[in-house]
Amino acid sequence: MEPSPTRQRASRNASQEMVTKEMIDNTALQRLDNELAPMRAERASYGCSVSFNGYTDEFARSMLNATVTTPSGSMLESAMDTDNNKWTSLYLKERLKTVIMRVGVEDVVAVISDNAANCVAAGKMLEEDEELRVFSIPCGSDTLYLLLEDIGKLVLAELPNTLRQATAAGRAFEDEAQASGAQPSSLLVKGVRSMWRQSAPIVQQVLGGALRRILMDQDIPAATAFAQEQIQRLLSGQVQLWELVMTGGLWRITGSQVAQAALEASGAAPAGGGRGVREEVRGPHATLAVKLAQRDPGTTFLLGQRLPFILLA
């Protein structure tokens, strides 16, 4: 029995709609793939970072997002349904390792997360994984948020977590005039790693400014307002690029080891059995040195030489 003309037309229309939708989807995917191609190409030259964060969607599912960042921008690598698994450090480590392997072990330099204990532990496990060469760092905006939160909770009888790291923090008097108040004294802080020279200037500025207002001026509200102002600068894109530059010293790897690691990374030299020199390269500054040596084999590095770099998240 032949279908009625009306049913035949409905069937043709449904098929046409399906084909048209498929064509549109393929066109959109191809366009998106073309737009992301330059970012993928940058990975081999400059490396990339993988950042992750979790959330609960509108269907009450626990989701884990992984984002890949290159100098040109960020792209969503995957959105994973964690199927209500407990987010232990081991579970996060395995899921993130899968992402890193997909993106490319040779290209991923850093893993970025917030400061939750399970995320920090997962990052440390990734650093220690012999198959990977990544450096785990906390998210800058989350760190500043926690700093602001600590300052807001500060009471005179309790120093914030940042100050607990310090072996010395307070006023420094160099002569009697400063001790008497006739001349201004200076702020002395020792032992706070975030204020060491390898830290980004904006981190040093926020911590130093907040500590100065707390310890020198004894004005906690002013410290809170200062931290809020600096965080707003960061979030609104008003921070200059030089304020985000960190440095790292090549103290644990020599120039010859950098050159050998570059050869191993490019496939020009075997690893020599077991773990090669390239596997000993740790940290973003050392990874940067290897990539620079790959790009220009004539580049030489000295023991202790400091390399500036910026981590993108």
For the stretch 12-47, pLDDT in tens is 444 444 444 455 566 666 776 777 788 888 888 888
Provide the 8-state DSSP code for 130. Answer: T
3-state secondary structure of 207: helix
Report the residue count for the chain: 313
| Topology of the domain covering 45-138 | Nucleotidyltransferase; domain 5 (3.30.420)
Which residue type is seen at 275? R
Q: Facing residues of 93 across strands?
A: none
Provide the 8-state DSSP code for 213. Answer: I
pLDDT of amino acid 144: 64
Handedness of CA 107, 110, 114, 115 (dihedral sign): positive
Tell me the C-alpha distance between 140 and 196, whole Å.
Answer: 16
Nearest to residue 223, comparing CAs of 246, 206, 239? Answer: 206
Tell me the C-alpha distance between 24 and 63, whole Å.
Answer: 28
3-state secondary structure of 24: helix
Tell me the C-alpha distance between 12 and 287, whole Å.
Answer: 58
Other C-beta atoms closer than 10 Å to the C-beta of 226 total 20
3-state secondary structure of 65: strand
The residue ranges of DSSP E strands in 114-200, in sequence order, are: 135-138, 168-172, 186-190
Distances from the Cα of 222 to the Cαs of 50, 162, 208, 214, 232, in angstroms?
35, 17, 13, 8, 15
pLDDT of amino acid 161: 53
The domain ranges of the chain are 45-138, 141-244, 246-309
Low-confidence stretches of the chain (pLDDT < 50) are 1, 3, 6-21, 154-160, 163, 272-274
Tell me the C-alpha distance between 100 and 109, whole Å.
Answer: 10
3-state secondary structure of 175: coil
Handedness of CA 106, 193, 141, 118 (dihedral sign): positive
Tell me the C-alpha distance between 295 and 280, whole Å.
Answer: 20
pLDDT of amino acid 268: 63
pTM of the predicted protein model: 0.45
CA 140 from centroid of its chain's CA atoms = 8
